[in-house]
Structure 1
Amino acid sequence: MIDLGRLRALHAVATYGSVGGAAEALGYTPSAVSQQLAKLERETRTVLIEKRGRGIVLTDAAQQLAATASQVLELVENAEVTLEHQRGQAIGSLAIAAFPTAARGLIPAMLPQLLADHPALDVSVTEADPFDAVVAVARGEIQIAIVHDWHNTPLAIPEELSRVKLGTDPADVLVPASHRLAGKEVVRAEDLVGERWICQPAGSLCYEWLIRTMRKAEVEPEVAYSIAEYQTHLALLAQGIGIGLLPRLGRGPLPDGVIAIPLHPAPSRRLYAVWRTASSRRPAIAVTLSAIKAAWPSRDTA
């Protein structure tokens, strides 16, 4: 009989394209994954991997076995969900991914009560950009992701995932107190021509939103400071450097010397919780979703 753990290792290598990627996803060392593959070759008496340069490639037989492994692992997941549903208890491991400001502004509001109410639930939390978080949920690495998108930058959700809207998170233009716009009650995109922006790195949802919003107003934004962490944005602004557009969730109080100005039309991002539809019957999923939704009114906003 083929060992399930070895099938899982092969499936991970096929999914991530390398032993290193599979090891990171599974929480193993690359050596452990290689050993699992070697044992699977002996178990099946089939050549599954071939060396190519410094890496490996899967043989045709391995690709076929990996496709079967995907079906087997899905059946195992369904069986686990059914058993947990029958027990009616929220137990086992549950991994949550959240983008940084949700990890700071929402997770602390929901996690203590969730753990107190369900002590048999082993919860872990990882920060991840919405694009990466959705992929991780679809692959089964993460059970629930808290993600966001903007009206002009929608986040694609695969068909096998479900989602529930949590709410909306307004954003403001932030400028140093000495800035020419600091005294205005509201600004428009046209007012921001020629400004040097502090923004999250290219490829993130917030970056894509800024570029699309400014270009719609025929303004090409100059992203002079590519910074992932919002607290660093605020630190730069407090020193009179650049301008930014920051949502309120998890932003915290503004430092001295930083002014928030509403932008018109008023931008806001939409927040969702996302999970695999096949796991909807799992009690751990249900209680965690309930805890996230219940915590939304007490979230940390500016």
Structure 2
Amino acid sequence: MLDLGRLRALHAVSVHGSVGAAAAALGYTPSAVSQQIAKLERETRTTLLERQGRGVRLTDEAQQLAATAQQLLSLVEEAEVRLEEQRGMPSGRLAVACFASAARGLMPLALADLARRHPALDARLQELDPHLSVDLVSRGAIDLAVAHDWDIAPMPAPPGVEQALIGDDLCDVLVPAGHPLAAEESVRRADLADERWIIQPPGTVCHDWLMRTLRAAGHEPLIAHQAEENHTQVALVAAGLGIALVPRLGRGPLTPQVAAVRLEPVPRRRLCALWRAGAARRPAITETVRTLQRLWPQVAAQG
């Protein structure tokens, strides 16, 4: 009989694309995942992983086995949901993924609150961009994702995935303190046509929103610098190297070298929690979502 833990390791490699990423998602070491795969190869008398450059690829037999593993893991999840539902209390491991500023500004408060009230719940956080985390939820690799989208760059939930609104995060234009716009109470998009921008790299939700917004206003943005972290963008603004559109969540206090100016209309990004429809009855999911919604006004007020 095939070992479920070894099948879980193979499935994780198929979802995350590498042994190292699978190990991080499962909470194991890469060596432990490799050992699980090696034992599964001996059990099945089949080569499952092949070297490809510095990484590995799944053989055709491994891909078929990983698809079967996903079906088995879905059945196990359903059984776990029923047991937890009968107990009526959040318990067990909950894999949560969220984007960087929420991991900094929202999740520490929420996870500490959950740990204090529900000691049987083992919630584990992984920082991921929304494009990745939502896909991992739909594929069963993550239990719950906290993601965001923007008004003109919505990110609909995939089939089989449900979502709930947590709240709206407001954004400001950050400019150097000596910038001509620093003394303005508010600016409009047309006022920003000739500015040098500091933005996130292509492929991120924030980057896509800013590019679409400025182009819709008839301006091709001048990209001076790209930085993934909001704190890095703020530091570049403080050095006088450009301006940036930065959400308030997780931003922290600004230094005297940076001024926040309201952009009209005010940009908003919507924070949502997403989970698989099959796990909707799980108390760990429902209680975590309720906790995020309950704490959001406090977090937004601090921002």
| TM-score normalized with structure 2 length | 0.90
Offset, 1:57 = 4.3
Q: Which moved more, 1:118-127 or 1:50-59?
A: 50-59
CA RMSD across the alignment: 2.2
Native 8 Å contact 2:138 2:160 kept in 1: yes
Q: What pairs with 1:1-302 in structure 2 (closer than 5 Å)?
A: 1-50=1-50, 56-300=56-300, 301-302=302-303
Q: Which moved more, 1:234-243 or 1:198-207?
A: 234-243
* Residues 1:293 and 1:240: Cα distance change in structure 2 (over 3 Å): same
Offset, 1:100 = 2.1
Offset, 1:54 = 5.9
* Residues 1:200 and 1:31: Cα distance change in structure 2 (over 3 Å): same
Offset, 1:55 = 5.3
Mapped to 2, the partners of 1:32 and 1:192 lie a distance apart of 52
The answer for unaligned runs of 5 or more in structure 1 is none
Q: Which moved more, 1:46-55 or 1:239-248?
A: 46-55
Could you say what secondary structure the match of 1:181 adopts?
Answer: helix
Q: Which moved more, 1:250-259 or 1:69-78?
A: 250-259
Q: Which moved more, 1:131-140 or 1:113-122?
A: 131-140
Question: Alpha-carbon deviations, 1:208-247, whole Å to 9, x = none?
Answer: 1111111111211122121222222223323333111112
Mapped to 2, the partners of 1:104 and 1:51 lie a distance apart of 37
Letter in 1 for 2:152: N
Letter in 2 for 1:129: D
* Residues 1:14 and 1:94: Cα distance change in structure 2 (over 3 Å): closer
* Residues 1:117 and 1:29: Cα distance change in structure 2 (over 3 Å): closer
Native 8 Å contact 1:109 1:298 kept in 2: no
Mapped to 1, the partners of 2:249 and 2:22 lie a distance apart of 34
Letter in 1 for 2:82: T
Native 8 Å contact 2:15 2:141 kept in 1: no
Letter in 1 for 2:213: T
Mapped to 1, the partners of 2:74 and 2:187 lie a distance apart of 51
Identity of aligned residues (%): 56
Native 8 Å contact 2:144 2:273 kept in 1: yes
Aligned residues: 302
Offset, 1:266 = 2.2
Letter in 2 for 1:220: E
Q: Which moved more, 1:45-54 or 1:160-169?
A: 45-54
The answer for unaligned runs of 5 or more in structure 2 is none
| TM-score normalized with structure 1 length | 0.90
Mapped to 2, the partners of 1:293 and 1:194 lie a distance apart of 39
